[in-house]
Structure 1
């Protein structure tokens, strides 16, 4: 029953079955719908990143306070994706469950991941351009622009394996947020399920590939076209630095979401059980 644990929520096994069935529907979306929903998701995550940076630009917060409050603010992105509806590459790593259950093919799985990831980039990059043109980064005497540059510089300087493992840990928490949101029956249920794991990964400094598709391009725009002296110190904020961050983070996100969440829960709840032997029934 849905209230087996004393809550009006779906059980873990029911969530696994929902993820499996949703994965099939997502893998077989019409191309135009998949692209448009992917663009929306990239922009939604970018809005969460915008909110995070606004909070982090306040110098009065201590480190932990700024990280936690920024993480709660960043949760806006996944709330928009889950509640309003969009296709997010990191959340779609859970399609690995439907693939492992042989409900979708390898071609369908890779097609969804490639199309959605590319569409997420378009949405995140497009939002970065709009935010730059709006003059938002000039607020607070340029402190927001400086914060974007600091964030992007730190990301572009991460060693490959550091970025990879931060990507793994990030998407474990992102996919757990998506997983738990599917347990809820109301918007409030979904919001509560999302905020804690998302704020935790942000506060811990883990790496989300789609958020980085907003942070780093916006920092590059500020560096190239913005009126800020801080731009001169962001030497690593380049297309090469962007790609150097994105490759290990995407790979880490894939491992964290597909293997450590998707495959683990597939083995627990959906893997075919061996047929019982006659002597076992005696």
Structure 2
């Protein structure tokens, strides 16, 4: 199970960001819809598995749901999809390296946000509401989960969004670093499971969960928007600064970054001193 060095991952991420930024609107919209639906389906899986678990299980129930949720990001990264939180790592990093223009970054964020919302809303309405998969026996779980998201203050939601995309962008980074599918799945699974188990807020996951509760006549679109803004901004900061910006500064910024040869030499030197 091979893997790439952080320096190599950084270079690959720049190329990935440039590719994403150069998709046309139709390509981005289709892949964005797919990713939004994948995340929504993984949340639907979470709800269905955990809804009837004994209350006495407590946090173990959350862990089971969190262990299943990475399905959405696995499908997005391996089957094909454009997810806002992942793009907030790759596309801005490509901009930091002057491989794309700022207007391309803005266009990508807008198109992917809207298409992720469309995919999430499709699952929430047709599978959740029309079929009833987030209502009936699953309604209490859906509403309780949505309520926990909405009751956070602006600052709490913003900080939670940072924590979420710090982990999600790290999952994307690790997936880029693996050379085979098994390694990619493991790299995606651990950080994604962690953000869900902790309870951090993911803007695209909320695009499914909160509207699903709204379609069941709970909460309002105004309340959803009040949650969307801070979580979106937090996800931006988590992906762009805490992962993309940090690794750009270390591995890509020309007056700071080590070359591959220097990096390898440093590792050899440290090893020889410790022997």
Calculate the TM-score normalised by the size of structure 1: 0.87
Long gaps (5+) in structure 1 = 1-6, 224-233, 275-282
Q: Name the residue aligned to 2:6.
A: 12
Distance in 1 separating the partners of 2:34 and 2:26: 12
State the secondary structure of the residue aligned to 1:137: coil
Please report how far the alpha carbon of residue 135 of structure 1 lies from its aligned counterpart in structure 2 after TM superposition. Answer: 2.5
CA-to-aligned-CA distance 1:203-248 (integer Å, 9 cap, x gap): 000000000000011111122xxxxxxxxxx4xx210110011100
State the secondary structure of the residue aligned to 2:84: coil
1:64-103 aligned at under 5 Å gives the runs: 64-94=59-89, 95-103=91-99
Distance in 2 separating the partners of 1:190 and 1:33: 24
Matched, 1:190 2:184: yes
Distance in 1 separating the partners of 2:216 and 2:164: 26
The question of whether the paired residues in 1 share the 8 Å contact of 2:40 and 2:72 is answered with: yes
Matched, 1:124 2:120: yes
Of the three residues 53, 60, 66, the one matched with 2:54 is 60
Please report how far the alpha carbon of residue 134 of structure 1 lies from its aligned counterpart in structure 2 after TM superposition. Answer: 1.5
Distance in 1 separating the partners of 2:187 and 2:76: 14
Matched, 1:218 2:212: yes
Please report how far the alpha carbon of residue 129 of structure 1 lies from its aligned counterpart in structure 2 after TM superposition. Answer: 1.1
Distance in 2 separating the partners of 1:137 and 1:174: 25
Bigger shift: residues 57-66 or 178-187: 57-66
Distance in 1 separating the partners of 2:249 and 2:7: 11
Please report how far the alpha carbon of residue 133 of structure 1 lies from its aligned counterpart in structure 2 after TM superposition. Answer: 1.2
Distance in 1 separating the partners of 2:231 and 2:134: 25
1:244-259 aligned at under 5 Å gives the runs: 244-259=226-241
The question of whether the paired residues in 2 share the 8 Å contact of 1:184 and 1:190 is answered with: yes
Q: Name the residue aligned to 1:136.
A: 133
Distance in 1 separating the partners of 2:189 and 2:198: 14
Distance in 1 separating the partners of 2:209 and 2:107: 26
The question of whether the paired residues in 2 share the 8 Å contact of 1:157 and 1:241 is answered with: no
Please report how far the alpha carbon of residue 148 of structure 1 lies from its aligned counterpart in structure 2 after TM superposition. Answer: 0.5
Q: Name the residue aligned to 2:110.
A: 114
Distance in 1 separating the partners of 2:58 and 2:105: 40
Please report how far the alpha carbon of residue 34 of structure 1 lies from its aligned counterpart in structure 2 after TM superposition. Answer: 0.5
1:154-165 aligned at under 5 Å gives the runs: 154-165=148-159
Bigger shift: residues 82-91 or 127-136: 127-136
| RMSD value, Cα | 1.4
Of the three residues 139, 148, 162, the one matched with 1:145 is 139
CA-to-aligned-CA distance 1:47-79 (integer Å, 9 cap, x gap): 111111123313316232111111111111101
